[in-house]
Amino acid sequence: MAWTLVTGGAKRLGANICVALAREGYDLAVHYNTSKLEAVEVARQCKLEGVQAEIIQGDFSTSALTLEFIQRYRERFPETENIVHNVGNYLIKSLLKTSLDEWQSLLQTNLTTPFLLNKELMESLVRYRGSIIHLGVVGVQSLRASVDSGAYKLTKGALLMLTRSLAKELASQGVRVNMVSPGYLDIAVDSPEDPSVLPMHRPASCDEVSSAVAFLLNRHNSYITGQNIEVAGAVGL
């Protein structure tokens, strides 16, 4: 059995992605850090769709802990077909007010962790000619200077370069690497209080983001790699 690993799959967008992929027939490894009860519930919902779903705990706050998670993960789930990197830290703060600990935490969670997971699980991904999906942010392809979230957007810009570089490196082996970049979500803490200021007069739903993830994982779309799909309703254009 080959698994699809969804990091941060216990709550919010990650949980929605898990259930959406279960409906498409993917067997899921639902990663969580502290939200065990929520992860158990997500796995239960996924199983109702007729697939296998198991939970696994992991702390990605340091490289050592991430590597420890990978060792445990491979023991339980030796065959991985896909990875959806949903885990990510978000920081609304100017660069000059960002502490070194905050800076390093963003880099660790948003960039180093995806790098390590991809690298250490690559043998299985190649064997199954699988897919990697990174979660980005609207505007990542043409990032403008930011005074309120510069460090966060820096990590997502670097993640896009990781996406494209791996896509080119792995193309000959049949592994596809893409990105999905949401705009404002209806669950986001920073969504405008007045949705009429958005181009579509509303934020995106988690279902709309999950649909893009499922689209990119679908093997009918096996010639799409190195791409970023923005689910942003014309925000940032």
Domain assignments of the chain as residue spans, ordered by start: 3-231
Distance (Å, whole) CA 140 – CA 161: 10
* Region 3-231: CATH code: 3.40.50.720
Work out the pLDDT band at 142, boundaries 50, 70, 90: confident
pLDDT in tens, 17-50: 999 999 999 999 999 999 999 999 999 999 999 9
Please say if the pLDDT value at position 236 is more than 90: no
What's residue 192's pLDDT? 86
Average pLDDT over residues 51-55: 98
Work out the pLDDT band at 237, boundaries 50, 70, 90: confident
pLDDT in tens, 102-137: 999 999 999 999 999 999 999 999 999 999 999 999
Task: Show the tokens assigned to 43.
Answer: 């796995």
Work out the end-to-end distance of the chain between its first and last CA atoms, rounded to an integer number of angstroms.
Answer: 42
What's residue 191's pLDDT? 81
If you ran DSSP here, which 8-state letter would residue 138 be given? T
Radius of gyration of the chain (CA): 17
159 burial class (0-12, 13-18, 19+ CB within 10 angstroms)? buried
CA 118 remoteness from chain centre: 12
Please say if the pLDDT value at position 190 is more than 80: no
Work out the pLDDT band at 144, boundaries 50, 70, 90: confident
What's residue 35's pLDDT? 98
